[in-house]
Amino acid sequence: MKLTEIWIYPVKSLGGIRVNKATVLGKGLLYDRRYMIVDENNQFITQRVYPELALFKLSFHDSGFLITHNNKSLIIPFEPLHTENQKAVTIWEDTVQARELGESFNNWFSAQLNKTVKLVYFPEENQRRVDTQYAKNNEQVSLADGYPYLIIGQASLDDLNTRLKDPVPMNRFRPNFVFDGGKPFEEDTWKEFTVGTAHFKGLKLCARCVLTTVNQDTGKPGTEPLATLSKYRKVGSKVNFGQNAVTMESNKEVEVGNEIEVVSFQ
C-alpha cells in the first residue's frame, strides 16, 4: 500500500491544500487546522451550518496562505509572530485559548460571509486534549474536530461510489492521508501502522456528518453520500468512514509515495 495524497486544512472548514510532503507533529500535520473562524460569541463555525465556507480556497503564498473568495483575496501568515492577547473560544465541548489576529482579518471574513466573525489562531503550545476515552498517552489535537489525523483508503471511496448515482470525490471527507492498495475499509482494522518512517496509532472510526454532503466546488449541500453510507456503514447512531489516528512520534516527514505498513490490527 502506498500514500497517494496528503492534505492540510490551515483554516478549519475552509478549502484544503494538497501537498507532496508534510511534517508530522503531535497535534496534526504542520499548519493543519491551526486557524478557525468563530462567531460573535466566540463559538466555532463550520460547513455544517455554513456550507458556503467550502468556497474559500487556499493556496501557499511566499508569506503565508492565500485565501480567495468571490474574486477577493487575503493573505494570512503561516504563524502569527506574537501569541499574546488570547481569548477563550469554544470548539465542540472544548474551550481553548486562541489568539485573535485583528480587525483587518475579522472585517474581511465578516464582509465575505455577511456575518460578524473573527479569525483566531491556536498556538502550538496551547493545550487541547484528545478525547480521553480514546487517547493512549494524553495526546493533543489542533482545531480538528477531535483527532490529529484521518486516513482513508481509495478502495473505500471506490466501494462507496459503486453505490452512488453520482460519484463523489475524496474531498467530501477531508482526510489528511489517502492510500492506494488494500481492500475497501481495510483501514478500519488497523491498530498501529507506519507511513514511511512515521508511526501512527488508529484510535477510532471517523463518524461522519452532513458536511460530507456539501459539494466542495459549489458550496451546496445535498443528501449524498451520507444517505447511502447510512445504509451499510452505520454502527449504532454513527455513520463511519475513515480511521482517526494519532502519531507516536513527532517531527517525522511523510511524502507521497511512502509505503504504508500495518504493524498490528484492532
Q: Assess whether the previous peptide bond of 225 is cis (omega < 30° from 0).
A: yes
Please say whether the beta carbons of 142 and 148 come within 8 A.
yes
Q: Phi first, then psi: what are they for 189, rounded to 5°?
A: -95, -5
**What does each of the 266 residues of the chain score in pLDDT, given as a tens digit?**
999 999 999 999 999 999 999 999 999 999 999 999 999 999 999 999 999 999 999 999 999 999 999 999 999 999 998 767 899 999 999 999 999 999 999 999 999 999 999 999 999 999 999 998 898 889 999 999 999 999 999 999 999 999 999 999 999 999 999 999 999 999 999 999 999 999 999 999 999 999 999 999 999 999 999 999 999 999 999 999 999 999 999 999 999 999 999 999 99
Closest CA to 15 of 44, 39, 51, 43: 51
* Domains contained in the chain, number: 1
pLDDT given at position 83: 65
Closest CA to 214 of 174, 185, 184: 174
d(CA 65, CA 57): 10
The gap from C-alpha 78 to its chain's centroid, in whole angstroms, comes to: 17
List the domain range (segments joined by +) for residue 56.
2-265
